[in-house]
Structure formats: C-alpha cells, structure tokens
Structure 1
Amino acid sequence: MIIDAHLHTWDTAEVGIGWLAAAGLPPRAPIPDDTGARRYVLVEAAADERWHETEWLLALARRDGRVHGVVAAAALDGPRTAAELDQLADTAEVVGVRRLLQDGHPFEPPGLLEGLRILADRAMPFDACVRAHELPALTRLLDRVPELVVVLDHMGKPPVRDREAMRRWESDLAEVAELPNVYCKLSGLAAECRDDTELDSVTDHVVGRALEVFGAGRCLVGSDRPVSQTSLDWCERVLGLVPDADRARVAHDNAAAIYRRTR
C-alpha cells in the first residue's frame, strides 16, 4: 500500500485555475488509474476561488474510495480565519490545510502567525510550500509555532542547476529539519528539472539528503502529479532509495499518521 501524499486533480470546466494554461498543464487532470493498492491525498492547486475548489475536491473524495483526504486552501491571515478553519476542521475529508508562501509572500505578518496557531489549536497539519531561498524565513516562522504539525512540500524545491544555491539548500534544509514538528514530502523534484535525464541525475542526491536530515520517520512520498511529470513511477522510484526496514513508514505510515481522518 502506498499513500501518494501529494496529488493534484482538477477540471477547469468546473473550477477556474488561471495559472494552468501558462504552465502548459492540461485543463483536466483526473485521479490516475494506477495499478495496485494506492490511495491519494488531494492537494489544493491555487484555484481562482478556493472555496469552490474545496467543495469540488470534497465531492470527489466522497465518491472515490481511493482518496485518503483533502489538503484544502485557507488564507490563514484574514478576518474570518478562525471561522474558516472551524468549518474545515469539522469536515471529515479535510486532513490538512495549505497556504502557498512561495514567491514573495511575507512571513512576518502577525496575522499569519496567529492563523498558524489557530490551525494548531484545531489539530490540523499545515502544508508549507516555499522555494529554496525562502527556507530560512520559513524556519524562523515555524520556530514560533512548535505545537503545529508542518509538512514541507517538495523538499523545499531545490535549485538543481545552481551548485552554490544547492549548497545553501542543503544547509537550510538541515536547519528546518531541526524543528521536530516538521515533516518532509519527497515530492515535486521533476517540476524543478528540465527533463527526465536531469531528474535522474539529481534524484539520488536530493532525496538522499532529505532522508538524511529528516530521517525516514519524518518523510512521506508524493507524486505531485500532474505538475511533476515523469516517465517512471515517482513513488516507486523514491521508495527504492529507502531501506527495507523504513519503507512502510515512508510509503504509508507517516502519511496516515499526519493526515488523520476524523471519522
């Protein structure tokens, strides 16, 4: 059994997602028909209207038994944060919340910190999506909310073509891993690479570094499909790098423990 902890699915005929076309992504992305036993955590995709997307994902989760749960979008720093998070926390299929912080979102506003504390009070995990150079700011922010369970998406998006930036990523990843409440998704690397050849050349090093600093007890696997596209099964590729004794934790157990269904 594998829990793919990071799958995107959409249908732009139902939910508007303005950035997809410019990124060269298809207008429709259904749950893939994988062979074998696999379940999915569906992750929000920065739709134009987040509540519309959440309702669409929840409807899909309720009719498709392969869906383990939904990581829904939330603003976290608005006047209705508490009410919005209460509504999400009362929805069985919602297993976490994501607020995109990458590309210049300020990490210092008191409203964001308060929103994360409210999220922790609701015992809901937070998916943190940042780029490599933003890892230090994220670490400083999360150090102030030690009670919050955090999942770092995509290993912090390592800049694989910049040798000096990769050295900084390794150091910064180790620093965020020092926070015991932070977990790491072994996901999203294909989106940082030009093609499968480049992906293959960096996978062992990048995934190995994440496993080294977080340990298998705090890593989980996710495909990031279809934003990340590979010719091989990414989840199987990653699990092949994990020692046999740890494979069940990375493949299934950690995701099941973090993304708990309320009923």
Structure 2
Amino acid sequence: MAVIDAHQHFWNLQTGSYPWLTPEAGPIHRTFEPEELLPQLAAAGVERTVLVQAADTYADTDAMLAQADTYDVVAAVVGWVPLNRPAEAAEALERYRRHPAFAGVRHLIHDDPDPDWVVQDSVIEGLGLLAEAGLPFDVVAVLPRHLEHVPVLAERVPGLRLVIDHLAKPPIRERGWEPWASLIARAAEHPNVHAKLSGLNTAADPGTWTAEDLRPYVEHALEVFGPDRLMFGSDWPVAILAGDYAKVWKETGVLLAGLGEADRAAILGGTAARFYGIEV
C-alpha cells in the first residue's frame, strides 16, 4: 500500500488570491510550490499526496489541477465549487469531474462569519450534488458549532461521504477535552464520516509539542472511528508554524507505533486511497 499524505497545500501569492493569508500569518505568508515539498516527501517515504484547496475560487482549483497534471506525486485534488449556488455548482462539477485527479470539494466554512453557513438550504442542495456525483466533502471544523453540524449533514444528505479535517482542531494546547470529545464521537456514529489526523501540531504548543501531547486525542479518534476511517495528513505548509514536515512525520510514527501493521497501513494510505479513489 502506498503511503499517502491526505492533506497538503500549495499557493502562489503572485498568481492567486488568498484573503486569509495576511502578513500576520508569519512564515507561511509566502509562495509554496511543489519543488519545495518534493524532497521532504521523499525523505519521509511518502509516495502520493492529496492537494487541498486554500481559497474559495475557481482559480485555486484550476491551479491545483494543473499541478496534478505536472507532478505525479499529486494523486488527488480537493477543489472548490460554489455549493451555495447549486445551479452554478452543477456546471462546475460537470467540468471538473472530467479531470481524473478531481476527487472532492471543500469550502472554507471556518472563514465565513456565519457559523451555520454549511447547513443553509442552498448548501444542502449543493452537497446533494456531491453525493449524486460520488464526491466527498472535506469539513473544516474549527468551532464546536462546525462539528455539531457534521451529524446534521450526514442525516440531511444521505450518501454524502464526509471527512473532518484536522480532527476538528481539538483543544490540545489547553489540554481541554469537552465539548470536542463528545462532538467528534457523535459525528463518528455515522459510518460515512471519516477524519484526518492532520493539523494537530498547530493546535498544540508550537515550540514544545510531541506525540505525547497529541496522544489522548488520537487515541480517542481511534476508538470512535477506527483506523479504516482515519487518514494521515501533514497540513504542510501550515505545519511549519509548529515545526516542519519531518517532525510531523516522525511524531505521527511514534503515535502509531503501537498499532498493528494493517491498522498503520490504513491510516498512512489505505483509508485515503479508498476515500478519494486513488489508484495505488
């Protein structure tokens, strides 16, 4: 089974627009392109990646698909369509689905001032289009309110496969537990809901975190989802706000060392391959 990084990004500040990416973002307020990531993937033994949108624009999706055309390592692209405008979304999906790498959709719901954006009727209709097309939806859950919506989506859009990015950012830095633990368990009750072990380092203390800081949250995720619904993601280059690719990879290995070979293989590639339709 190929080792797959199920969540990474590229962006170019000269050619794209990323409203959230301001100078206050510090070291990630610059262009990140494939040439910078490739040697880090090779050093970790990661063979394929899932490239995830960083802007709610067609331009960002088009750029990612062009990178998938150029770099074999990019196995799948999670792009964007205007889910709150279903007629337009249907046209965009028809166009994008012609590209073999287009494998899912995400919207930056955590940047929307309305925490209930994703459950408005127009978006539910748009998500229904994804279900019909067999395409999954990446959920960026940052607030507890976002995580509360995951079971609602699972019930209102039958057949829609969902994946919770970054385990919904558990309160690792504060060593908190609730309401995160109960909400993620409730989401996991729905078999179509998956989750990514990604972005956890930036939810921890950026200067001191280790696998042990993340362990209670990852073990809870393993208990409620099981390895067949969990997937590893680096969240590079956001990850460099709290370390680097090598540290994320190393500490993930420490976290998973106690699992059996089949379970590790699922989290490090098998789940992502199945979820995003990646041929390995």
Structure 2 residue corresponding to 1:124, chosen from 112, 131, 135: 135
User: CA shift at 1:116, angstroms?
Assistant: 0.9
1:3 corresponds to: 4
Structure 1 residue corresponding to 2:82, chosen from 75, 89, 92: 75
User: CA shift at 1:237, angstroms?
Assistant: 2.4
2:276 corresponds to: 259
Gap runs ≥5 in structure 2: none
Q: Describe how 1:24-103 pairs up with structure 2 within 5 A.
A: 24=26, 25-31=28-34, 32=37, 33-34=39-40, 35=43, 36-46=45-55, 50-78=57-85, 79-103=87-111
Q: Describe how 1:146-165 pairs up with structure 2 within 5 A.
A: 146-162=158-174
Structure 1 residue corresponding to 2:251, chosen from 237, 242, 250: 237
User: CA shift at 1:137, angstroms?
Assistant: 2.3
TM-score normalised by the chain length of structure 2 = 0.86
Whether the aligned pair in 2 keeps the contact of 1:89 and 1:124 (CA below 8 Å) is no
Rounded Cα–Cα distance in structure 1 between residues aligned with 2:12 and 2:249 = 24
Rounded Cα–Cα distance in structure 2 between residues aligned with 1:166 and 1:256 = 30
Whether the aligned pair in 2 keeps the contact of 1:42 and 1:70 (CA below 8 Å) is yes
Q: What are the Cα deviations for residues 131-164 of structure 1, in whole angstroms up to 9, with x where unaligned? A: 141211232222222301111100011122445x
Rounded Cα–Cα distance in structure 1 between residues aligned with 2:269 and 2:253 = 11
Amino acid at match of 1:251: L
Q: What are the Cα deviations for residues 151-179 of structure 1, in whole angstroms up to 9, with x where unaligned? A: 1100011122445x522101111000001
Gap runs ≥5 in structure 1: none
Say if 2:156 is the partner of 1:144. Answer: yes
2:234 corresponds to: 223
| 2:179 partner SS | helix
Q: What are the Cα deviations for residues 61-107 of structure 1, in whole angstroms up to 9, with x where unaligned? A: 11111111110012211141211122222221111111122253423
Distance 1:90 1:53, change over 3 A: same
Structure 1 residue corresponding to 2:180, chosen from 169, 178, 182: 169
Rounded Cα–Cα distance in structure 1 between residues aligned with 2:238 and 2:103 = 21
Rounded Cα–Cα distance in structure 1 between residues aligned with 2:200 and 2:81 = 25
TM-score normalised by the chain length of structure 1 = 0.91
| 2:237 partner SS | coil
Q: What are the Cα deviations for residues 203-261 of structure 1, in whole angstroms up to 9, with x where unaligned? A: 11111111111000100000001112224432342243231331111111111111115
User: Which piece of structure 1 moves more, 83-92 or 178-187?
Assistant: 83-92
Q: How many residues align?
A: 259
Amino acid at match of 2:97: A
Amino acid at match of 1:259: Y
Higher helix fraction (1 or 2): 2
| 1:92 partner SS | coil
Kindly report structure 1 stretches of 4+ aligned residues shifted beyond 6 Å: none
| 1:19 partner SS | coil
Q: What are the Cα deviations for residues 184-206 of structure 1, in whole angstroms up to 9, with x where unaligned? A: 10001122233141454521111
Q: Please provide the CA RMSD for this pair.
A: 1.9
Structure 2 residue corresponding to 1:23, chosen from 12, 22, 25: 25
2:189 corresponds to: 178
Higher strand fraction (1 or 2): 1
